[in-house]
Structure 1
Amino acid sequence: MELRNPILRHFRLLLLISGYFYVSLTLVASIGINYGQIANNLPSPENVVPLVKSIGATKVKLYDADPQVLRAFANTGVEFIVGLGNEYLEKMQDADSAKSWVKSNVQAFLPATKITCITVGNEILALNDSSLTDNLLPAMQSLHGALVTLGLDKQVTVTTAHSLAILETSYPPSAGAFRQDLVPCVTQILNFLSKTGSPFLINAYPFFAYKANPKQVPLDFVLFQSATGVVDPATKLHYDNMLFAQIDAAYSALASLGFKKLPVHISETGWPSKGDDDEVGATPENARKYNGNLMKVFSQKKGTPMRPNGGDLNIYVFALFNENMKPGPTSERNYGLFKPDGTPAYSLGITGYNIVSNTTTAGPPSTSISGPPPPTPPAPTSSSTGYLSISLSPEKPHNHFCTLFIPCLALIMNLLFRH
């Protein structure tokens, strides 16, 4: 039994009456929101469409090419990025396989569903897996070649998402640089992105820096509430929040390799509303401040100090729903702006704002809220079987993002706040 329209109308009415969101008719910024499905209590994609539309979403990013989602959003005007899992990289080097995949997962849904980009793998370079790294660019090139053959390369680009762990230096932002061991590979990928007009995607979570070192990382700085902030000693640019400093470090790293004008999109960022005892800062109030302030900043089309016009910067907030089947610590299941029944997880207190959407479709098939839940599937063990876990419990050392990024950020912030 599917979720019926009266309940959907309740969702929309609740949003409007409670004042959690007020949706304007004009898109004011390219802000994204992850819509994940690693849960057994979410509405079907068909029933999510009105909820996504009710909050002004105009863009969706998938980590696969779930046909149910793509069909559900047909003729809605919502733009889609579809994804290819890490486990398919080797196979996609074959031109026929790449063409077949594009025909089945992209061309078949055009033009009703507006697919604009394919992401190949997730945070592969930070995995330090040579087989995946060696297969990444060839897979990207093969998929682009398939798009060219099918006459779709002018409307669909190809890229991949990176962890900030691929940066060797991120403080000060003007000194941002890629890891030396990754420079040859990164340079080849950047050449590909530049030639094909594709964006550079990176995932950034100031929450991890605060969680790792709450005594030395000012909470106001990571929540966009810093009155004093910090100044880059080289450029004299002022930073009143950590996310902008992270983004500008990525810009500097790109510029150091000769790609100063390459567009950068933040494919994941967010804050959990609940966590374990050792997950400092994971509260509804901090989640409200981080996501609410982030959206307010970008609703003003405010770029970073290094690129103040903000014209090419898209940011995707994590996530649309809390997802009850995600593995790892409690925070993993509490990044959503909404509970599974469509009610807000906390108030954002935003008016006049349109939210853009970043969707993840990995995990169990979507089910209706009123129907019986499906059997619990095995928990994903890597980004290849679902989108990468945002944080890591001690029992799951597979997550490269946290093991590499948090210690690095702790050191950086030690340096940063001594100035």
Structure 2
Amino acid sequence: MRILRFLFLVFSLGINVLVATAFTGTYGINYGRIADNIPSPEKVVTLLKAAKIKNVRIFDADHSVLTAFKGSGLELVVGLPNEYVKEMSSNADHALTWVKDNVKSFLPETKIVGIAVGNEVLGGGDYDLAVALLGAVKNIHNATKTLHIDKIVQISTAHSQGVFANSYPPSSCIFKEGVDQLMKPLLEFFSEIHSPFCLNAYPFLAYTYNPGKIDINYALFQPTEGIYDEKSNLHYDNLLDAQIDAAYAALDDAGFKKMEVIITETGWASHGDQSEPGATSSNARTYHYNLKKRLAKRKGTPLKPKFVLKAYIFALFNENSKPGAGSEKYYGLFKADGSISYDIGFSGLKSSSASSLSRVSFKDFRGGRMWAGSYSLLSAISAPILILLLRI
């Protein structure tokens, strides 16, 4: 009877129970493909299943990937690359066609649960692109409504830490001047459709650009004194939690206290240039192993303990064609041949599982369109970034 009363109350009040949620669980991974030597999408599905990784993000909507994921049960967030944002903002019909061709036509066999509209658009150098973002988000969302998939496909966009200013201590973080004018209407819309604030956060980059001010143990979730935020009376024992709470502080300041922060990219490079001494296999393993343990605890941050932390790891593979610093090519948990870069204890995945992939011929590799512009890690760097602010 209680259930019946509840259902009657829900429907009589017109409460919208069905809300698209793109991330179930706490652990996901980014499947980047800017490489000419990685396994085919079909073999990637096998690898992800062996590693028991259910939540996956890609940076485009390549049909070879969407086809390979059919019937896998893996939950996929597809990306609308930055190069299409202006077009989708100015033309609702094109947005409808894009969603129909790249999302609707693959449902429900391919479990597409989200669309990421652009990546790290605000806070970047293209003002016209930044202005177009909200229109693109609205048109893509309206397309999902027209196609009756808005209750199963969540709309989002990921931000770099370059959108923030005054981030130390974390409680003092606000959105950067100029960014705030574009951010607020975007947040208002996301609040209406119950989408989270998506953040790309890299303690690796923070340490790399300020090794004299940041204790590497603090960046790697290792024992350390951490930092104390006098304003909030909170203590932080790791850099990632502080970065996330800085985002929450900025959201609170902007009037969005209830919005959840989800980490859409975080990782640690296993190799890099001479100027990147922290990029070692040992440090990468330590970061990912400790992060995996941190996520498994299913707890929030010091400022928002009730919001269970969720994170997509960057990335599945080393990508040999990525431009930029040497580290850009070495964020993979797996090497190009499918073998483990470093063991962080995936349940159900042993060395033999990865080795079996490395023995397969990759002649059937279908890389699709290798679009890099939307997720360059370099765009996560900004002068007032949290790096400079999380001093120890």
- Fold shared, TM-score > 0.5 on shorter chain: yes
Secondary structure at the aligned position of 1:202 is classed as: strand
Give 1:165's match in structure 2, choosing from 154, 162, 168: 162
Q: How many pairs are equivalent? A: 358
Q: Is the 8 A contact 1:83 1:120 kept in 2?
A: yes
Give 1:371's match in structure 2, choosing from 344, 363, 366: 363
- Distance in 1 separating the partners of 2:348 and 2:236: 26
- Distance in 1 separating the partners of 2:198 and 2:218: 23
**After the TM superposition, which residues 9-408 of structure 1 pair with which residues of structure 2 at under 5 Å, given as runs?**
29-93=25-89, 94-311=91-308, 313-349=309-345, 369-371=361-363, 385-391=372-378, 400-402=379-381, 404-405=382-383, 408=385
Q: Deviations over 1:77-129 (max 9, x none)?
A: 11111111111122213121111111101100101111111111111112132
Q: Deviations over 1:200-220 (max 9, x none)?
A: 111011111211121221011
* CA distance 1:139–1:370, shift in 2 (3 Å): closer
Q: Is the 8 A contact 2:272 2:279 kept in 1?
A: yes
- Distance in 2 separating the partners of 1:157 and 1:257: 22
Q: Is the 8 A contact 1:268 1:316 kept in 2?
A: yes
Q: Is the 8 A contact 2:160 2:380 kept in 1?
A: yes
Percent of residue pairs identical: 47
Q: Comparing 70-79 with 340-349, which one deviates more in the overlay?
A: 340-349
* CA distance 1:159–1:349, shift in 2 (3 Å): closer
1:293 offset after TM fit, Å? Answer: 0.2
1:297 offset after TM fit, Å? Answer: 0.8
Q: Is the 8 A contact 1:29 1:299 kept in 2?
A: no
Q: Comparing 101-110 with 206-215, which one deviates more in the overlay?
A: 206-215
Secondary structure at the aligned position of 2:159 is classed as: strand
Q: Is the 8 A contact 1:177 1:253 kept in 2?
A: yes
Q: Is the 8 A contact 2:210 2:388 kept in 1?
A: no
Q: Deviations over 1:1-21 (max 9, x none)?
A: xxxxxxxxxxxxxxxxxxxxx
Structure 1: which amino acid aligns with 2:334?
F
Q: Which residue of 2 aligns with 1:359?
A: none
Q: Deviations over 1:386-410 (max 9, x none)?
A: 442224xxxxxxxx433x25x6444
TM-score, structure 2 as length reference: 0.86
Q: Comparing 193-202 with 225-234, which one deviates more in the overlay?
A: 225-234
Q: Is the 8 A contact 1:116 1:155 kept in 2?
A: yes
1:302 offset after TM fit, Å? Answer: 2.2
Q: Which residue of 1 aligns with 2:388?
A: 411
Q: Deviations over 1:254-291 (max 9, x none)?
A: 01111111121111000011111111200011001111
- Distance in 1 separating the partners of 2:317 and 2:325: 16
Unaligned runs of 5+ in 2: 1-22, 350-359
Secondary structure at the aligned position of 1:193 is classed as: helix
1:146 offset after TM fit, Å? Answer: 1.0
* CA distance 1:108–1:168, shift in 2 (3 Å): same
Q: Is the 8 A contact 2:32 2:59 kept in 1?
A: no
Q: Deviations over 1:113-153 (max 9, x none)?
A: 11111111111112132210111101111111111111111
* CA distance 1:276–1:385, shift in 2 (3 Å): closer
Structure 2: which amino acid aligns with 1:62?
I
- Distance in 2 separating the partners of 1:373 and 1:33: 20
1:310 offset after TM fit, Å? Answer: 3.6
Q: Is the 8 A contact 2:116 2:157 kept in 1?
A: yes
Structure 2: which amino acid aligns with 1:195?
E
Structure 2: which amino acid aligns with 1:316?
Y
- Distance in 1 separating the partners of 2:99 and 2:203: 35
Q: Is the 8 A contact 1:40 1:374 kept in 2?
A: no
* CA distance 1:250–1:369, shift in 2 (3 Å): farther
Secondary structure at the aligned position of 2:186 is classed as: helix
Secondary structure at the aligned position of 1:127 is classed as: coil
Secondary structure at the aligned position of 2:259 is classed as: coil
Q: Is the 8 A contact 2:203 2:239 kept in 1?
A: yes
Q: Which residue of 2 aligns with 1:23?
A: none
Structure 1: which amino acid aligns with 2:363?
G
